[in-house]
Amino acid sequence: MKKVKKEIQMNSQFKLDELKQLRNFFEYLDEDKSGTICLSELKKTCQRLKIKLNENETFELMRLMDLNSNGSIDFEEFVNLIADKHKQEITRTELNTFFDKYDPKKKGYIEESDLKEMLSQFKNGKANIKKIMEFFDLNKNNRIERNGKIC
Summarize pLDDT for 105-136 with one digit per residue, the tens.
888 888 888 777 777 766 666 667 777 777 77
Domain ranges across the chain: 2-87, 103-145
The series of mean pLDDT values per 10 residues for the chain, 151 residues long, is: 48 72 91 96 90 90 91 90 66 74 81 77 68 76 73 43
Q: What is the pLDDT of residue 44?
A: 93
Secondary structure (3-state) at 63: helix
pLDDT at 109: 83
| Three-state DSSP class for residue 87 | helix
Q: How far is CA 73 from CA 25, 44, 63, 67, 112, in A?
A: 13, 14, 9, 8, 43
Q: Which fold does the domain 2-87 belong to in CATH?
A: Recoverin; domain 1 (1.10.238)
